[in-house]
C-alpha cells in the first residue's frame, strides 16, 4: 500500500526488497485478486461442512468457526490533499478510502481510533497494535492491514488423546505442555534439515505447516528461502504419528524497520532520501514524507478442533522537515522442541502466517 505512493529510489528499493520483479506495475491487481480469493475460502469450507452435516457425515458446523478476512485501511492527516492516483489504487485494489484524522494536534485520539478498528477487524484478537507514543504531531498517515483466520481442522485431533508431555526449550530447560496426538495419512517431507508436515484446514484450501528442525532453530530459520520445505506443502502422503503441543500465543508489537532496512529498503526510512510524492506531492505544511516505522502484532492459537490466527501491520508515515508408496510403519514426529509454523493458502502458495513456537506454554502479550 505504501509502495503505491513511492517514487524514484524509494520505489526501486521497495520493489527490490519486496521481490516485486518485473510485475511491480501490476502488484496492486495481484493483491486485489489474492484478497478476493482468500475471502472466499471460509464460506466455501462452511458450505462443504454444512453439506456433509446434511448427509449425516458430520455434526452441524457453527458459522462463527469459519472466518478468513483480509482488510485494509488508510488514515491520513485531514489538512493534506492526498494524490488521486494513490486514492484510486487504495479504492480499487485494497477496498479502502482515507479516514481523515487530526494527527497534528490530536495524535493520540487518532491512535486509539486505529487500534479500535484493528480490534474490530480481528475479532478482538489484536489489541493495542499502536502503543502509546507511536504516533505524534509529525505523523501524517498510517496504512493498516489486518487478517483474521479461524477454521477447523479437516480432521480434528481426538480430545481424548491429548496428554501432558515435556517440551524442551532452546536453552535446554523443559516445560510440561499439553500434546495433541493423532496417527493420520498426511503430506510429509524430511529434507534432512527438518521434518515437515501439512495439516489441512476445513475446505482443503489452507494448510498449517509444522517444520521441526533436526538442529538449532535459529540456524534453520537463517537458511529459510523461497522454496524451503517449511514454506511449501509437501507432495508425498505418509502415515504420520504426530504429537503437537497445544498452544496460544500473542506477540508484543514489534518493529519491522531493521529487517526491511537489512533487505535494502533504506530510502523509505531516510528523512532526506525518502520520496513519497505519490502520496502527497506538496505537503501543505512543507517538508516531505518518509516512513517512521512499520509495526506488526500477531496471535496464533492451535487447539484440537482447529486454528485461529490474526495479525495486523501498520506503516507509519511522518513528515520530515529537513532534507506416494506408504511405508509399512508410521513416521514418528514428536514436536517437543522449538519449531516453525506457517499457514499457506494452497491454490496460490501465499504464506498467510509465518513464525515459530519456542515455548508452547508461553501465552505472550495481552
Domain boundaries, given as residue ranges, for the chain: 2-151+250-320, 153-245+324-357
pLDDT of res. 96:
96
pLDDT digits (tens, 9 = 90+) for 253-272: 999 999 999 999 999 999 99
Choose which CATH entry (3.40.50.720, 3.30.450.80, 3.30.497.10, 1.10.4100.10) describes domain 2-151+250-320. 3.30.497.10
**Phi then psi for 58, rounded to 5 degrees?**
-160, 165
Neighbours of 32 (CB within 10 A): 15
Same fold, 2-151+250-320 and 153-245+324-357: no
pLDDT of res. 74:
98
Res 312 pLDDT > 70:
yes
Task: Summarize the confidence of residues 293-313 as an average pLDDT.
Answer: 96
Share of the chain above pLDDT 70, in %: 98
- What the block records as the C-alpha cell of 313 is 501491520
pLDDT digits (tens, 9 = 90+) for 119-139: 999 999 999 999 999 999 999
> How sure is the predictor about 333, in pLDDT bands with cuts at 50, 70 and 90?
confident
pLDDT digits (tens, 9 = 90+) for 316-329: 999 987 544 444 56
Torsion of CA 236, 237, 241, 246, to 10 degrees: 80
Q: How far is it, in rounded angstroms, from Cα 2 to Cα 12?
A: 13
Do residues 109 and 132 touch, judged by C-beta distance below 8 A? no
Do residues 317 and 10 touch, judged by C-beta distance below 8 A? no
DSSP letter string over 99-144?
EEE-TTT-HHHHHHHHHHHHHHHTTTSS--SS-TTSS-TTEEEEEE
pLDDT of res. 89:
96
Whole-model pTM: value is 0.88
Biggest CA-to-CA distance, the chain: 72
> How sure is the predictor about 55, in pLDDT bands with cuts at 50, 70 and 90?
confident
- What the block records as the C-alpha cell of 127 is 489489541
Range in 199-203, 224-228, 295-299 with the lowest mean pLDDT: 224-228
Helix (H/G/I), strand (E/B), else coil: 303:
coil
Looking at domain 153-245+324-357, its CATH architecture is Roll (2.30)
Q: How far is it, in rounded angstroms, from Cα 8 to Cα 95?
A: 26
Helix (H/G/I), strand (E/B), else coil: 196:
strand
- Mean pLDDT across the chain: 93
For residue 298, list its beta bridge partners. 311
Amino acid at each position: 500500500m505504501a509502495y503505491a505512493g513511492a517514487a524514484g529510489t524509494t520505489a526501486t528499493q521497495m520493489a527490490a526488497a519486496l521481490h516485486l520483479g518485473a510485475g511491480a506495475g501490476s502488484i496492486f491487481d495481484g493483491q486485489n485478486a489474492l484478497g478476493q480469493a482468500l475471502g472466499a475460502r471460509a464460506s466455501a469450507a462452511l458450505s462443504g461442512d454444512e453439506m456433509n452435516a446434511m448427509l449425516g457425515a458430520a455434526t452441524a458446523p457453527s458459522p462463527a468457526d469459519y472466518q478468513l478476512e483480509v482488510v485494509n485501511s488508510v488514515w491520513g492527516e485531514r489538512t493534506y490533499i492526498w494524490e488521486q492516483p494513490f486514492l484510486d489504487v487504495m479504492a480499487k485494489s485494497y477496498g479502502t478510502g482515507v479516514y481523515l484524522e487530526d494527527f497534528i494536534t490530536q495524535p493520540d485520539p487518532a491512535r486509539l481510533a486505529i487500534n479500535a478498528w484493528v480490534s474490530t477487524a480481528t475479532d478482538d484478537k489484536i489489541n493495542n497494535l499502536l502503543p502509546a507514543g507511536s504516533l505524534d504531531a509529525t505523523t501524517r498517515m498510517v496504512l493498516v492491514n489486518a487478517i483474521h483466520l479461524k477454521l477447523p481442522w479437516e480432521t480434528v485431533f481426538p480430545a481424548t488423546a491429548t496428554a501432558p508431555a515435556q517440551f524442551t526449550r532452546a536453552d535446554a530447560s523443559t516445560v510440561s505442555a499439553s500434546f495433541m496426538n493423532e496417527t493420520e495419512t498426511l503430506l510429509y517431507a524430511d529434507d534432512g534439515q527438518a521434518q515437515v508436515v501439512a495439516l489441512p484446514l476445513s475446505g482443503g484450501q489452507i494448510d498449517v505447516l509444522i517444520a521441526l528442525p533436526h538442529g538449532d532453530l535459529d540456524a534453520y530459520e537463517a537458511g529459510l528461502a523461497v522454496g524451503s520445505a517449511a514454506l511449501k506443502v509437501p507432495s508425498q502422503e505418509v502415515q504420520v504419528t504426530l504429537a503437537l503441543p497445544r498452544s496460544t500465543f500473542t506477540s508484543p508489537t514489534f518493529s519491522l524497520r531493521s529487517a526491511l532496512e537489512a533487505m535494502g529498503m533504506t530510502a523509505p526510512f531516510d528523512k532526506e532520501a525518502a520520496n513519497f510524492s505519490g502520496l502527497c506531492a506538496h505537503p501543505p505544511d512543507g517538508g516531505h514524507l518518509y516512513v517512521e516505522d512499520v509495526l506488526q502484532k500477531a496471535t496464533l492459537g492451535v487447539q484440537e478442533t482447529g486454528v485461529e490466527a490474526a495479525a495486523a501491520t501498520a506503516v507509519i508515515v511522518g513528515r520530515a522537515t529537513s532534507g506416494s508408496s506408504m511405508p509399512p510403519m508410521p513416521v514418528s514426529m514428536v514436536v517437543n522442541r522449538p519449531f516453525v509454523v506457517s499457514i499457506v493458502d494452497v491454490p496460490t502458495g501465499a504464506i498467510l502466517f509465518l513464525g515459530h513456537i519456542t515455548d508452547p506454554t508461553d501465552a505472550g502479550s495481552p
